[in-house]
Structure 1
Amino acid sequence: MDMTHMDHMQMEQQTGTSYLWLILGAALLLLSAAAYVWASRTRGSILSHMKKKERALIQKKSRAIHTAAHIVIALSITAFGIFSLQRADKTYNTADLDSSAAINVTSDKYYGANHTEEPIHYEMTIPTSGPHNPHDIQFGFYTDFPGYPYLVHNMEHGDIIIYYRENAGEELKEHLKYLTKFRKAGSGILAVPNKDIPDGSEVVMTAWTKTMKLDKFDDAKVGTFINRYINQGPEKIPPSVRQGGGTM
């Protein structure tokens, strides 16, 4: 997991840098507001009995503070703009994942794809097809098991499910959170805790009618499975419609 972990750290570092621009923009905005107040109060300190020269000095000081406030607010807008551009450019493309490994994938029996809100009995312990709930769920990292009827629907749309053990280490969980940010077209990735993971496996990965069990998490194998099977479900939904899952 070393090289991908390094990429992960680099991308998280870039995220931290982009948020620094947001913080800087907010600080400059507050500073500009304070400067405008200061300029207003300075101008308000002019009294009727003051001499013309004294008034001119105060007005000059007020204008200087006001000009400085304009400059600071311009810098604030620039900082917010840089933050927005960095966030807009930030993408998690599955093609960037290591996908050079040989993998052992099971092609599972097809059990149908009809929608139902009735209780469902799945023939497979960890199903990869079959009847499912009419609604899918959002991509992302889950700490509670949402139920196979929803997850099967997600796989129908080409999503990848990574099942992990409830007692998984924090490092693995953090890495899975990172992986769930990746997208391809209208499909994404979900990481879900699962008590049905068989003995001897650390994680189980599923796509529509596909299963891969790993006795030890391996970035290259995980990346290969993702790139091979993401967005390969029988019902593809445009990304403009799905927008992170949980829409169908």
Structure 2
Amino acid sequence: MAKPSKSDKSARQALIDSAMKKQRSAEKRRSNIIVTVCVIIALGLIGAASYQPIKNALDLRKYSSLEVAEVGAAASVCQDVVTEDATDVNNHVPQGTEVTYETSPPAFGPHWNVAGVAPAPFTEKFYDADDRPELEALVHNLEHGYTILWYDESVAEDAGQISEIKAIAKKFDLEDTNFRLKFIAAPWLSSDEDGDPFPEGQHVAMTHWKGDETSSTGVWQYCSETSGEALETFMADYPYTDSPESGAL
């Protein structure tokens, strides 16, 4: 058999070199595609993570120039105020004791008394399901004259209404201890957690504990949606000064 000529060897090497070059080019293209896809995914994740905080900040900014009464729906979305004779002023039960409240949500009743826990801190104006204090702590806030705006799970899932509630809460979030800022917005959790749902068609409730150590009244107002106008009237009609322990934070 004749030996391959130099020209045959050169041709064969050229084919090998060409094939290897094409392979390297293909591998480089695949690597570039993988890197590009990874970058796109990473940017997407970063964008998704930053979108909601940015949106929340923009939503709050659009309410910054409005008064409380201008945020949310008109007061007509709310039912008439209802009241009930109250009990349990200064009825402090041990921390950890679970109290069954007869109304959803409570406006009065037995409650915990633990410094820094019950009542919940004056500086916190908005809670969600992840950080809300126990009911037994918040009822102590009511005894001190707070108005609590409770929102149910359907409102918690409504980004627009949550933005409104946060905007309202922020208007009470001033760096001083003016007692007129006794306001908290808090979620009313599922029946397994807190109690019965609000009346049919009502998704927001405002409660207040009116009176003194000898005679007191629970106050409720239910609304189908968030109404800053109704809240402003409610807090004017039932100020912190008319509560059993209005002089305490």
TM-score, length-scaled by structure 1: 0.53
- Equivalence for 2:126: 141
- Equivalence for 2:44: none
In 2, Cα distance between the equivalents of 1:127 and 1:147? Answer: 12
1:213 is aligned to 2:214: no
Contact kept in structure 2, 1:186 and 1:237, CA below 8 Å: no
1:109 is aligned to 2:100: no
Contact kept in structure 2, 1:186 and 1:236, CA below 8 Å: no
In 2, Cα distance between the equivalents of 1:105 and 1:236? Answer: 21
- CA displacement 1:19-59 (0-9 Å, x = unmatched): xxxxxxxxxxxxxxxxxxxxxxxxxxxxxxxxxxxxxxxxx
CA 1:192–1:112: 2 relative to 1, 3 Å? same
Amino acid at match of 2:120: I
Contact kept in structure 2, 1:204 and 1:211, CA below 8 Å: yes
Contact kept in structure 2, 1:163 and 1:197, CA below 8 Å: no
Amino acid at match of 1:129: F
CA 1:230–1:176: 2 relative to 1, 3 Å? farther
In 2, Cα distance between the equivalents of 1:9 and 1:227? Answer: 26
3-state SS in 1 of match to 2:207 = strand
Amino acid at match of 1:142: Y
Q: How many residues align?
A: 152
Question: 1:148 deviation in Å?
Answer: 1.7
- CA displacement 1:91-114 (0-9 Å, x = unmatched): x9xxx5439968611112212121
Contact kept in structure 1, 2:63 and 2:167, CA below 8 Å: no
In 1, Cα distance between the equivalents of 2:225 and 2:98? Answer: 33
Contact kept in structure 2, 1:179 and 1:189, CA below 8 Å: no
Please identify the structure whose Cα radius of gyration is greater: 2
- Equivalence for 1:163: 150
Task: Pick one of 176, 179, 186 that aligns with 1:185.
Answer: 179
In 1, Cα distance between the equivalents of 2:152 and 2:169? Answer: 16
3-state SS in 1 of match to 2:164 = helix
- Equivalence for 1:172: 161
In 1, Cα distance between the equivalents of 2:136 and 2:62? Answer: 36
CA 1:223–1:126: 2 relative to 1, 3 Å? same
Q: Identity over the aligned pairs, expressed in percent?
A: 25
Amino acid at match of 1:109: D
Amino acid at match of 1:205: M
- Equivalence for 1:202: 203
Amino acid at match of 1:122: Y
Task: Pick one of 90, 99, 116 that aligns with 1:120.
Answer: 99
5+ residue gaps, structure 1, are: 1-7, 14-91, 243-248
Amino acid at match of 1:115: H
CA 1:112–1:182: 2 relative to 1, 3 Å? farther
- Equivalence for 2:246: 236
CA 1:148–1:226: 2 relative to 1, 3 Å? same
